[in-house]
Amino acid sequence: MHNTAFCRVCFLLLFERKVDRSIAKNHMFSRSDHVLVAVSGGKDSLALWHVLARQGYQTTGLHLSLGIGDYSAQSRDKTEAFALARGLPLIVRDLQEVAEDISIPRVAAFTNRRPCAACGKIKRHCLDATALEHGFTVLATGHNLDDEAARLLGNVLHWQQDHLAKQQPVLQPVHPKFVTKVRPLYLTSEFETATYAFLSGIDYVIDECPNSVGATQLLYKAMLNRLEAEMPGTKHSFVRDFQRVAQPVFAATRNTPPGDCAVCGMPSYGTVCSFCSLVAEVHAKRERARPTA
Ligand code: Q46
Ligand code: ZN
């Protein structure tokens, strides 16, 4: 934020102003919008929800219970306690209720996929479907500067043009069933959000998801932290200048809008969306694994 020491009150004020400026400057939403905030129970998403509520935005939280043992149980408890203490509306969706055997450990076991690969797909579908179902027009997530820089590094290392085309702090809907997706913390560092959460007395899940061990994203973050230590400001300029200089070039290549999934009706680039294909694969493999009489 600044290379200066601040007292608690000033830090909180500056942090909240910075987030509010990011929302206004990028035309993310206004106080007349009702924003759905994806909350995992971690510091970033709870800090985001806290700031938005304090700034007078209309918000509802959405927590997805992923079925990852103690980690998911703790995440849900912390999120529910946060919402209850502040009188904020919260929607909780348990993956077991979305589709049978779709918890992250079950999907990983049946499909032999890495848990995070399935998790990303499932979360994206559930967030989109819930936003549509409840009539929200904006979906906000707590991705911070460190997340954005690591994602950008991964996308550049593999020249993922499709992903680079979609890496924006405000992603406008390309289908009537999508809502606007925003990342108000995209220029706010992990250190700043952790400090804000701590100074605001937010009780968040400190443990990382057990499946994050060995994740490539963590390697990218470690590399970026080394660069940042030698060259302060690297992460910020990497993400900010990408948005300013290169992102519009990639965004201009996004010209094929998705159709409708033949199974669930949500937007899809194939006949069946990746979520429904995954559910079908899990159910087929589960049936095959059943002992025959
Ligand atoms: S929750 Fe899901 Fe993360 Fe856990 S399984 Fe991987 S993607 S690490 S943000
Ligand atoms: Zn589908």
Range of the domain at 143: 8-257
Span between the terminal Cα atoms of the chain, in Å? 65
Residue 216 in domain? yes
The predicted structure's pLDDT at residue 56: 96
Q: What is the crossing angle of helices 274-289 and 104-111, to 10°? A: 70
Residue 290 in domain? no
State the pLDDT confidence band at 2, using cuts at 50, 70 and 90: low
Contact predicate 75/85, CB 8 Å: no
- In 3D, which of 72, 257, 242, 56 has the Cα closest to residue 154? 242
pTM, two decimals, is 0.94
- Name which residue leads in pLDDT, 113 or 29: 29
- In 3D, which of 2, 23, 3, 24 has the Cα closest to residue 14? 2
Residue 283 in domain? no
> Could you give the percent of the chain with pLDDT greater than 90?
84
**What is the per-residue pLDDT across 223-262, written as a single tens digit (0 to 9) for each?**
999 999 999 999 999 999 999 999 999 999 877 889 999 9
The predicted structure's pLDDT at residue 5: 81
Q: Is 62 helix (H, G, I), strand (E, B) or coil?
A: strand
What distance in Å separates the CA atoms of residue 137 and residue 124, rounded to the nearest whole number?
15
- Substitution candidate for ligand 1 out of 75, 106, 209 with most atoms within 8 A of CB: 209
The pLDDT of 36-62, averaged and rounded, is 97
Q: Report whether pLDDT(291) > 80.
A: no
The pLDDT of 260-285, averaged and rounded, is 95
CATH of residue 202: 3.40.50.620
Residue 177 in domain? yes
Contact predicate 276/261, CB 8 Å: yes
Q: Give me the number of domains the chain comprises.
A: 1
What distance in Å separates the CA atoms of residue 132 and residue 266, rounded to the nearest whole number?
9
Residue 272 in domain? no
**What is the per-residue pLDDT across 63-122, written as a single tens digit (0 to 9) for each?**
999 999 999 999 999 999 999 999 999 999 999 888 887 889 989 988 888 899 899 999
The pLDDT of 147-175, averaged and rounded, is 96
Residue 188 in domain? yes
- In 3D, which of 145, 57, 69 has the Cα closest to residue 108? 69
- In 3D, which of 152, 133, 136, 134 has the Cα closest to residue 144? 152
Residue 287 in domain? no
Residue whose CA is at the smallest distance from ligand 1 atom 6: 116
The predicted structure's pLDDT at residue 173: 95
Residue 77 in domain? yes
Residue 123 CA to ligand 1 centre (angstroms):
9
- Tell me, using a 6 A CB cutoff, whether residue 142 lines ligand 1: no
The pLDDT of 43-70, averaged and rounded, is 97
